[in-house]
Amino acid sequence: MSALRVLGYATATTAVAFALFAGCSSSDPPAPGGESEAGSDGPITTTTPDVGVAPDGSPKPPNDGGTTEDGATTEDGAAPDPDAGGLDCTGAAGDPAGAATVSGYIDTLVSQPSAAIRPQAIDAILRTCEAFGPAVWPREPCWAFLAAAISKESGYNPTVTVRDAYATRNVGGKQANDPVVGLLQVRFSSTVHEVSVLASKARLTCAGCTLPASFAAHAAESGNSDFWAVNGPTQHMSVMTSVACNVAMGAWFYFVNASGNGKAAAVTYPNQYCNGLGTGGNIITGLLSHLKGSEGGRGFIANQSALNGLQATDPGGYGYVTQIKSWFDVMLGPVAPHPFFVRMPPDPAVHCE
Give residue-wise pLDDT tens across range 22-69: 223 222 333 344 334 444 333 332 222 222 222 222 222 222 233 333
Q: Is-contact 98 139, C-beta < 8 A?
A: yes
Any idea what DSSP says for residue 277?
I
- Report the largest interatomic distance among the alpha carbons of the chain, rounded to a whole angstrom: 57
CA distance 277 to 176: 31
Q: How far is CA 232 from the centre of its chain?
A: 20
Convert the pLDDT of each residue in 235-270 to its tens digit.
999 999 999 999 999 999 999 999 999 999 999 999
**Would the pTM of this model clear 0.85, i.e. be above it?**
no
Q: Is-contact 251 186, C-beta < 8 A?
A: no
CA dihedral 289, 232, 193, 219 (to 10 degrees): -160
Any idea what DSSP says for residue 214?
G
Does residue 324 sit in helix, strand or coil?
helix
The percent of residues in the chain predicted with pLDDT above 90, rounded, is 76
In this predicted structure, the answer to whether residue 139 has a pLDDT above a threshold of 70 is: yes
**E-only strand ranges, 166-254:** 170-171, 174-175, 180-181, 186-187
For position 86, what pLDDT does the model report? 85
Any idea what DSSP says for residue 279?
B
Q: Is-contact 195 351, C-beta < 8 A?
A: no
In this predicted structure, the answer to whether residue 193 has a pLDDT above a threshold of 70 is: yes
Q: What is the mean pLDDT of residues 89-108?
A: 98
